[in-house]
């Protein structure tokens, strides 16, 4: 089976001693929205630029549509790219900016105008064609950059943090627009972001990078429910997963020397270690309980009322844990709250290596609706 983009043992180093990317193995399928996510300096933009042909490979193979492209210039790789800073020509009008690539490729004028009208109508740019970039808002410039990419009709589109300069409301709107556009046109899209919310809401699959190494590749919900290690657990999800150091002493799981939960060997079939454990639990699984049901009590240190939900912060040893509850809860900082943790919702990690030892067995109740 041929993958649209395939990387084998791809690496990147500068001056042969600064390793930026380590042995990247990756396959991206046709029509897929694939997101590269990670903190600043993780190597995601470098990897995107290598696929585009703007950076050379230090090692490994890069294939696009089954063809080895290691040494091909960008224009021969049949792809388009949208940059963080939009990369518009300030002296050209919106129309000229959008058509620039087609003019360079000597596409005939009639075909140029046909594609222009389609892209402009799709992006809602009809009234702006004669303006210069400086007369546009950030969102309008972004749409021009997208239109220029779409009009090229290349099967592969690369995007490098295209929404990071926009305000929150516009960013949410543009996320939906880009996803809709990608599906409508059947594009294969490789999208770089440091924003895990963007990654979760847009990607068919996500690759989490840290310090030039792949941490995990998978569907957004799988990374959320079954993180491969502590890095992914703390990076994917908003609010982040609650973590705490733990030991197993006889029939008790002791977390941060604060929480003591009854536990049996059936609860922890994969855990051989009794110490050096870090446990993780998602905010929605730290639930309010009656005094009779509660298996722990914690002090509230902060309350955030978001209208449709309430975020509460608790002190757990040296950690701050967050609970996320639907609706409006009239609870004040300083109150001691009865809570319940279901052991099925706890993930166990090796504190030293960071690797998962046992995934939460009831991470998420996935709802399947038959239509």
- Residuewise pLDDT in 10s, the chain (371 residues): 568 999 999 999 987 778 899 999 999 999 999 999 999 889 999 999 999 999 999 999 999 999 999 999 998 998 988 887 778 889 999 988 888 888 778 888 888 888 888 888 878 888 889 999 899 888 888 888 888 888 888 889 999 988 887 788 888 888 888 898 889 888 899 999 999 999 999 999 999 999 999 999 999 999 999 999 999 999 999 899 999 999 998 889 999 999 999 988 777 777 767 778 999 999 999 999 999 999 999 999 999 999 999 999 999 999 999 999 999 999 999 999 999 999 999 999 999 999 999 888 865 555 666 65
pLDDT score of 153: 81
- Please, what is the Cα angle at 234 between 228 and 239, to 5 degrees? 130
Quick check: helix, strand or coil at residue 227? coil
What tokens appear for 349 in the block? 């990690």
Backbone dihedral angles phi then psi of residue 33, each to the nearest 5 degrees: -100, 105
Give the number of other CB atoms < 10 A from CB of residue 336.
9
Spell out the domain ranges in the chain. 5-230, 242-358
The pair of structure tokens assigned to 87 is: 């990369």
Q: What secondary structure does DSSP assign to 221-283, as a single string?
A: HHHHHS-SBHHHHHHSSSSPPEEEEEEEETTEEEETTTEEEE--TTT-TT---SSSEEEEE-G
| CATH architecture of residue range(s) 242-358 | Beta Barrel (2.40)
Cα distances (angstroms) measured from residue 270 to each of 244, 252, 357? 19, 16, 7
Half-sphere exposure of 220 (CA within 13 A, CB side): 16
Per-residue pLDDT at 367: 63
Angle between helix 94-104 and 138-151 (nearest 10): 20
Classify domain 5-230 by CATH number. Answer: 3.40.50.300
Q: 10 near 46, Cβ under 8 Å?
A: no
Cα–Cα distance between 314 and 321 in angstroms, integer?
A: 5
């Amino acid at each position: 089976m041929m993958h649209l983009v395939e990387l084998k043992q791809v690496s990147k180093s500068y001056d042969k001693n600064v390793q930026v990317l380590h042995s990247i193995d990756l396959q991206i399928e046709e029509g897929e929205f694939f997101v590269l996510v990670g903190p600043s300096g993780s190597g995601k933009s470098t990897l995107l630029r290598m696929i585009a042909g703007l950076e050379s490979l230090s090692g490994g193979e890069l294939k696009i549509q089954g063809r080895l492209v290691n040494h091909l210039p960008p224009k021969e790789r049949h792809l388009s790219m949208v940059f963080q800073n939009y990369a518009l020509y300030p002296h050209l009008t919106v129309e000229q900016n959008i058509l620039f690539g087609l003019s360079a490729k000597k596409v005939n004028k009639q075909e140029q105008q046909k594609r222009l009208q389609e892209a402009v109508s799709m992006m809602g740019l009809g009234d702006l064609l004669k303006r210069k970039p400086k007369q546009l808002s950030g969102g309008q410039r972004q749409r021009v950059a997208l239109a220029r990419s779409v009009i090229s009709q290349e099967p592969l589109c690369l995007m490098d943090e295209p929404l990071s300069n926009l305000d929150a409301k516009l960013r949410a709107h543009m996320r939906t627009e880009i996803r809709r556009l990608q599906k409508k046109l059947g594009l294969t899209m490789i999208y770089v972001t440091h924003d895990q919310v963007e990654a979760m809401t847009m990607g068919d699959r996500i690759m989490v990078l840290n310090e030039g190494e792949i941490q995990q590749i998978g569907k957004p919900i799988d990374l959320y429910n079954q993180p491969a290690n502590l890095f992914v657990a703390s990076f994917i999800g908003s609010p982040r997963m609650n973590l705490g150091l733990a030991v197993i002493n006889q029939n008790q799981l002791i977390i941060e020397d604060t929480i003591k939960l009854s536990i049996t060997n059936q609860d922890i079939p994969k855990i051989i270690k009794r110490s050096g454990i870090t446990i993780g639990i998602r905010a929605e699984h730290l639930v309010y309980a009656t005094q009779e049901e509660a298996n722990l009590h914690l002090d509230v240190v902060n309350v955030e009322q978001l209208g449709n939900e309430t975020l509460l912060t608790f002190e757990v040893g040296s950690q701050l844990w967050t609970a996320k509850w639907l609706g409006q809860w009239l609870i004040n900082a300083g109150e001691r709250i009865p809570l319940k943790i279901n052991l099925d919702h706890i993930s166990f990690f090796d504190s030293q290596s960071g690797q998962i030892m046992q995934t939460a067995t009831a991470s998420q109740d996935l709802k399947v609706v038959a239509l």
